[in-house]
Chain A
Amino acid sequence: MAADLSPSPTGAAQASASLPARSRGERLNEWLDRNARHIFLWPAVVLILVFSIFPLVASLVIAFSRIRLSGGGFQVRFVGWRNFDKQLFGSEQFHFLGTFGPLSLMGWVFGLAVTAGVIWWIAAYLRAGPTFIGTLGRLFPWGLVLGLGWLLSYTALSGRPFGTLLTTYFYVLVGCAIQFVIGMGLAYLCSRAIRGRNFFRVLFFLPLMITPIGIGYTFRMLADTSKGPFSPLWQAAGLGDFSWATDPWAARMFIIIADSWQWIPFVFIMLLAAFENVPRDYSEAASMDGASEWQIFREITWPQIMPVAATVMLIRVIEAFKIVDLPNIMTSGGPGIATESMSLHALFAWRSLDLGQSSAVAYLLLFVTVVTCVSFFNLVVLRRVRS
């Protein structure tokens, strides 16, 4: 048997003769099998490296440099933290953070209330059994809330102008809240059996298709109090001498109205899909048991759409942090710097070829966006989903 099992010289010769023809395809297949993960992964990795990581690293280098364009290229001078220092403590502090001065009574009250809230938050976390990683992660949102609270106290609540950081947060918090409430309301209505709901679905979705530049110019024209289509109504109401563009809060609110007009459809369409996916059996059963519409929404519908709603708002918040087109078109950041967002701040610096300052502002925006969104996801979304 052993002799039978050993390959005869003739058999070996035959095998070696047939091996190349057969094994080339097999070897290729085997190689492809062995390297499949690399073949699938590397193109994506290279693309990410080239288009995401490299610009991120390059802009980080620029944020610590002073760049001057000249014949034959550009000169780069390393300036350390100077670009960030200028925004946080130097001549651009008023622009990024706001104008500081003595605290008003309102400022003290609000600042202390925020501090007390953060202390309560920390205490509640410590009582619940803290972990090292959990504590480390929470240091960022604690610091951010405390910092923003006192910044608001020292600036707006003490009668002084605030900078692009708080303006951006105003767009994010107020704008997204308005968009969420109205978008969800419209989605809820269109998920019901109402007449003409297909028409309204298309109508409510349309603004999302329009370019932000067009929306900016349209709203600027609509709101023109001397030449716009609503000018007669405006005059008849006795507001002929008032212009939203010259009042900081009116200008900010008007930008939020235009932004909401553009983005409510996004919230609407996503939540409409979520509402449509809620099984009718539960709500019908609850209705037969005598539950009110509000009770059905709160106890049955909301828990089921909550994960989608949270994801929608996370996407929307990330987008809102980057708002630039509407304030640029509608007010150019004015009156003063009242409507200037951080993205617009970076754009203006870039326009004047101050690339270091522009990158520094962009990195500060990245930092607050990441801290806010990660905190929102971990502390609000995940907690609600788990519960």
Chain B
Amino acid sequence: MRHFKTPLAAGLLATSMLAAPFAQADGHYNGVTVEILTRPGPVIAGRLAERGEEFREMTGANIVVNEVPFAEIFQKLLTDWATGTNSIDVGVFASGWGVELVNGGLVENLDPYIAADDQIDIDDIAPYFREFNQKIGGSTYLITVDGDFQMLYYRRDVLEAAGLEPPRTWEDYLEVAAAVHGQDMNGDGEADYGSCIFKKRNAQSYFAIGSVAASFNQTQGTGEGFWFDQETMEPRINNAGWAEAFRLYKATGEYGPPDELNHDIGDTRALVTSGRCALAIDWGDIGPLSIDEGGEAIRDKMGAIIMPGSRRVVDPASGELTDCNDSLCPHAVDGINYAPFAAFGGWAGAINASSDDQVKQAAYDFLSYMNQAAQSNIDVTIGWTGYNPYRNSQLDDTSNWVQAGFSEDFAQNYLGAIKESLNHPNMASDIRIPGAQQYTGVVLDRELARFLADEITAEQALANIEEAWEEITEDFGRDEQAQMYRLGLGITN
């Protein structure tokens, strides 16, 4: 833990006071360059570059956005910062990855910066993102630029025409997908798909499987977690709930495009926005994409709803799938256990602790500028930015959304689905411990891909994952991992 020193705080406070009115073009950061590393644009990176140009005109700071493939962001940052190369000042990445960087003492503690910042309006950031996503061990190390929850999207017109309700469970999902699969949903004369869910290896499929598995495995609230046993760090993955999730996830492919195994999120979104999918799971991006150029086929035809749940959950006593009851599923609604998954957690910026003080201050001011409502309330309504809502003012007020092109109905529906997920007492957290990417992005992703390709059964895949996760836990230290895991689950909405 990096301890805050009073003289430094005073210095930072003074600098920040000077920096506060940077809406005027005073050029007080002339000659300062902030190097940012993130994923390739236009998603995420594109808006950082555009806002960076505005920031340069206001303050003189030169904001340089470096783009690397998604799968290489974390290792490039860790290598750069740990080896003392320090060519990057700010990393914009999944908030969950921050734990390992903070654990290594590589990330600047932002508490003093925030304390001196009168423009960020920190209380407007939704509690989950403010207290859970941005903080590690009680201190703020990250500034959110995007809030992420996976939701279910459905074509209202297609389901209404078929006399179907949006699915509430994963079994419903398969039934609805089967009922509408093969219909022409965009008027081009071609048969379209009942379901579109990305399944490519080394992409985002390990987030999608989390969304399916959570409702089978987490019932007692956010603090329970569904990845590990909190005390022993034994994986809670080799069980009937995860096996069922694997099978359901694979079964959705029967109603999807034939090459879905090679589809990442970009391929899936292209199909959804061209009107070829009746059901899809995605982060918050589909809503704004439907009003972007290219979203005409689905404009005002989409509905959003909390991720489907399950009537059967894993009974800790027997380890088997059991029908929900009051004690087993205290948060169930109509006998259905929901556990909306905060997959990825959202893109957030972290500042290199070894950067120069002036660069760190400029970097913070830029992240604050991105985060402030004046900018972010507009950015989240634009589909191509990849930014989804994370502030109360974005979630409670539909005026910005309507102004951007949403109908009032869809704005209410879309924001309602996000809020329902965000405020759910059984919301499921993503992994936030050192090695998170190895646990999920490598091992879970690979074994899931092998299962989807019929190389192995679900049970073999889960046994392999359990063995490999135990090895990773041993490598990082079981006690330390357990402590970090508990810490990550400590804050509930």
Contacts and interface: CB of A to CB of B under 8 A. Distances in A.
B84 A72 contact: yes
A171 B367 CA distance: 47
Interface residues of B, number: 45
Contact of A337 (B106, B258, B450, B454): B450
Nearest to A74: B82
A336 interface: yes
Contacts of B257: 226, 243
Interface stretch (B53-61, B172-180, B199-207, B277-285): B199-207
Contacts of A331: 201, 262
A66 to B, nearest CB: 7
B202 A338 contact: no
Contacts of B450: 161, 336-337
A348 B202 CA distance: 9
Contacts of B442: 348, 351-352, 354
Interface range on chain A (Cβ under 8 Å from partner):
35 or more
B399 interface: no
Interface string B57-72: 0000000000000011
B409 interface: no
Given A66-B475, A69-B104, A338-B455, A352 B449 contact: no
Given A94-B464, A332-B203, A336-B450, A352 B437 contact: yes
A71 B261 contact: no
A333 B262 CA distance: 10
B148 to A, nearest CB: 22
B475 A351 contact: no
Interface of A: 66, 68-74, 91, 94-95, 99, 161, 220, 224-227, 240-246, 248, 331-338, 348, 350-354
A91 B262 contact: no
B361 to A, nearest CB: 21
Most buried by A among B84, B449, B451: B449
B258 A161 contact: no
A161 B83 CA distance: 39
A224 B259 contact: yes
Nearest to B448: A336
A119 to B, nearest CB: 33
Interface of B: 71-72, 74-75, 78-79, 81-84, 103-106, 200-203, 257-262, 270, 353, 437-438, 441-442, 446, 449-456, 464, 467-468, 471, 475-476
A356 to B, nearest CB: 10
Contacts of A242: 258
A95 B443 CA distance: 11
B202 A74 contact: no
Contacts of A226: 257-259
A353 B78 CA distance: 9
B261 A337 contact: no
B19 to A, nearest CB: 27
B438 A246 contact: no
Contacts, number: 122
Contacts of A66: 475
A146 B198 CA distance: 41
A225 B262 contact: no
Given A225-B259, A226-B257, A331-B262, 18 more contacts: A69-B82, A69-B83, A70-B104, A91-B471, A95-B446, A161-B450, A225-B258, A243-B257, A246-B260, A248-B455, A335-B449, A336-B454, A336-B455, A337-B449, A338-B455, A351-B72, A351-B75, A352-B441
Contacts of B456: 99, 161, 336
B231 to A, nearest CB: 24
Given A334-B449, A335-B452, A352-B438, A243 B203 contact: no
B455 A351 contact: no
B259 A332 contact: no
A345 to B, nearest CB: 10
Contacts of A338: 453, 455
A375 to B, nearest CB: 31
A22 B347 CA distance: 75
A352 B259 contact: no
A224 B476 CA distance: 41
Contacts of B201: 331-336
Contacts of A94: 464
Q: A-B pairs with the 9 shortest C-beta distances? A: A336-B453, A335-B453, A243-B259, A71-B105, A245-B262, A69-B82, A70-B104, A334-B201, A332-B202
Nearest to A332: B202
Nearest to A161: B455
Given A243-B261, A245-B262, A334-B200, A91 B467 contact: yes
Given A66-B475, A352-B438, A336 B449 contact: yes
A351 B467 CA distance: 20
Given A91-B464, A336-B450, A246 B262 contact: yes
B94 to A, nearest CB: 14
Contacts of A99: 455-456
A287 B346 CA distance: 75
A73 to B, nearest CB: 6
A246 B259 contact: yes
A94 B74 CA distance: 27
Given A71-B82, A161-B455, A352-B441, A246 B261 contact: yes
A73 B78 CA distance: 10
A158 to B, nearest CB: 14
A224 B271 CA distance: 13
